[in-house]
Structure 1
Amino acid sequence: MIKVLFVCLGNICRSPMAEAYFRHLVTQQGYQNKFEIDSSGIGDWHAGKPPYQGTQKKLDEQGFSYEGMYARKITFEDLDAFDYIVVMDNQNLADLKSLRHEAPKARVFKLLDFVTELNEEEVPDPYYTGNFDETYRLVEAGCHALFNLIKSEQDLSK
């Protein structure tokens, strides 16, 4: 089982959008039984809440389910339980690295690190920008690049 965790600040906008999109992509490719996909936040301000209404609206437009998704704060255990931890911006990356001194088991990187066709390095937080279309565009590109990276590193035929 390949375990992927998406992380943003509060786990109500970007990371649940990425979780829902990546679930859809993996299912579309027929690999849903090979992956465990989750999301979390750096902070616990929104713990227990569903995705933000702007994220829900965007996912509804695309026909992607967010059923059963509720915000939670990342845990120390997550750092060893997941194979890939994917953050949305440089601050998330710095915050995550400050959680623990030794290196986590997971590979940790930003969602847009492997997207070569875009000039962006970070996924802006639509909670503040209000631009859920832009966030979705970047999440879509990042999730495709992530899926291709995982396919190149993992044997999905098992």
Structure 2
Amino acid sequence: MRLLVVCLGNICRSPVAEGVLRARIQASTLAGQVELDSAGTGDWHVGQPPDRRAIANAAEHGIDIAGLRARQLGPADYRDFDWLLCADRANLRDVRARMPHGAHARAALLLDWTGVEHEGEVPDPYTGGPAQFEHVFQLLDRAADGAIARLRQELRLR
């Protein structure tokens, strides 16, 4: 199973989600069965590390995302991933609008896909402070629990 977490610039929400999910999956019976990555719909931050506030907040929870680098969603992602899990509806719309004919990947809202919140969105903390980054981390932590449960069920059915 291959999952790609998508947000706008790939420096706040999606790298934190990638880090949390990676840590949870590695600590579970799913280790080695799920591949993860993250990307942004925009290209403003390509090649840059995550936002320093996202790095610091994740580190407070024992998650190291400092080595990640932003990249933009590309055509190959629609072929190479099973799920494109989007932080919010705007990114989901963009992901679906760019989806090439015959794409393998399916797109969904991350919080909806993980069962955290129907049609739920992960707010962008970029213009906020520590409280907003912590709120996002807590949402993504809950999403990681939901992802583990869903992945266990889906991989059992394969």
TM-score by length of 2: 0.90
Residues 9-48 of structure 1: CA deviation (Å, up to 9, x unaligned)? 0000000000000000001114322121100000010000
Match of 1:78?
A: 77
Percent of residue pairs identical: 35
User: 1:95 aligns to what SS in structure 2?
Assistant: helix
CA–CA distance in structure 2, aligned partners of residues 128 and 46 of structure 1:
15
| Structure 2 segments unaligned to the other structure (5+ residues) | none
Give 1:141's aligned residue. Answer: 142
- Tell me the C-alpha RMSD between the 2 structures: 2.0
The aligned counterpart of 2:154 is: 153
Distance in 2 between residues matched to 1:151 and 1:30, nearest whole Å: 8
The superposition leaves residues 46-65 of structure 1 with CA deviations (integer Å, 9 ceiling, x where unpaired) of: 00000101110111101112
Cα deviation, residue 114, structure 1? 4.1
Deviation at 1:118, TM superposition (A): 4.8
Instruction: Report which stretch shifted further, 86-95 or 102-111.
Output: 102-111
2:58 equivalent in structure 1: 59
* Residues 104/22 of structure 1: CA separation in 2 closer, same or farther (3 Å cut): same
Q: Which amino acid aligns with 1:19?
A: E
Deviation of 1:129 (Å): 3.3
Structural mapping, 1:107-126, within 5 Å = 107-114=106-113, 116=115, 118=117, 121-126=120-125
Task: From the superposition, tell whether residues 110 and 73 of structure 1 become closer, same or farther in structure 2 (CA, over 3 Å).
Answer: same
TM-score by length of 1: 0.90
- Return closer, same or farther for 1:102/1:57 CA change in 2, 3 Å cut-off: same
SS of the equivalent of 1:38 reads strand
| Structure 2 counterpart of 1:8 | 7
1:132 corresponds to which residue?
Answer: 133
1:43 corresponding residue in structure 2? 42
Letter aligned with residue 140 of structure 1: D
Moved more, 93-102 or 21-30: 93-102
Look up the equivalent residue of 1:39 and give its one-letter code: S
Stretches (4+) displaced over 3 A: 114-120
**Aligned equivalents of 1:97, 1:120: Cα separation in 2:** 16
Counterpart contact for 1:111–1:143, Cα < 8 Å: no
Give the number of aligned pairs: 156
- SS of aligned partner of 1:18: helix
Gaps of 5+ in 1: none
